[in-house]
Amino acid sequence: MAPSSSALVSFAIPLIFGVFLRLLFRLLKSRQARKPSLPYPPGPAPKFLIGNAFDVPRFGAYKKFAEWGKEYKSGLIHISAAGQHIVIVNDRKIAEELFEKRSVLYNDRPEFPVVPLMGLDYNFTFLKGDAWLAHRRICQKNFNSSAAKQYQPMQTTEVHTFLRGLLNSPSEFTDHYKLLSIALQLSTMYGFTPTSLDDEIIRVADESSALSASLLLPGATLINIFPILRHVPAWVPFASGQRRAKRCKELTELVKALPLNCAKKSVKEGKASPSLVTEYLEQKALGISDLEQEKIINNVAWTVYNGGSDTTRAATGAFIHIMAKHPEIQRRAQAEIDRIVGCDRLPTFADRTKLPYIDAIYREMFRYHPITPMAIPHCLNEDDVYEGYFLPKGAWVVPNIYAMARDENVYSDPSTFHPDRFLDANGELNDDSRVLTYGFGRRVCVGKAVASASTWLTIVSFLACFNVGKAKDDFGNEIEIDDEYEDNGAMIQKKHFACSITPRSEQARSLILETEFL
| Known binding-site residue numbers | 445
Are 228 and 22 in contact, with CB atoms under 8 Å apart? yes
Residue 247 burial by Cβ neighbours in a 10 Å radius (0-12, 13-18, 19+):
middle
User: Reduced to 3 states, what is the DSSP secondary structure of residue 395?
Assistant: coil
Give the β-pairing of 500-503 and 466-469. antiparallel
Burial class (CB in 10 A: 0-12, 13-18, 19+), 137: exposed
Q: What are phi and psi of 108, to 5 degrees?
A: -90, 170
Q: CA 265, CA 284: separation in Å to the nearest integer?
A: 14
Single-letter amino acid, residue 428: E
What phi and psi, each to the nearest 5 degrees, are found at residue 285?
Answer: -65, -25
Count helices and strands in the chain by DSSP H and E runs: 17, 10
Query: How many Å apart are CA 319 and CA 79, to the nearest integer?
Result: 35
Name every residue whose Cβ is closer than 8 Å to that of residue 196 and which is 6 or more positions away in sequence. Answer: 179
Cα–Cα distance measured from residue 155 to residue 454, given in angstroms and rounded to the nearest whole number: 6
* Closest by CA position to 302, among listed 177, 375, 209, 195: 209
Is the separation of the CB atoms in 84 and 396 below 8 Å?
A: yes
Phi, psi for 128 (deg, rounded to 5): -130, 160
User: Residues at the annotated binding site for heme?
Assistant: 445
Q: What distance in Å separates the CA atoms of residue 48 and residue 27, rounded to the nearest whole number?
A: 9
How is the beta sheet containing 396-399 ordered, strand by strand?
76-81, 84-89, 396-399, 378-379
DSSP sequence for 159-178: HHHHHHHHHH-GGGHHHHHH
Task: Specify the DSSP element, H or E, that contains 500.
Answer: strand 500-503
Residue 240: its H or E element: helix 240-268
* Number of alpha carbons in the 13 Å side-chain half-sphere of residue 214: 14
Per DSSP, the residues of 106-135 read: H-B----THHHHTT-TT-TTS--HHHHHHH
Judge contact between 371 and 321, C-beta under 8 A. Answer: no
Distance CA 139, CA 137 (A): 5
Q: Is 509 exposed, middle or buried (0-12, 13-18, 19+ CB in 10 A)?
A: middle
Contact 381, 499 (CB under 8 A): no
Separation of alpha carbons 471 and 480, rounded Å = 8
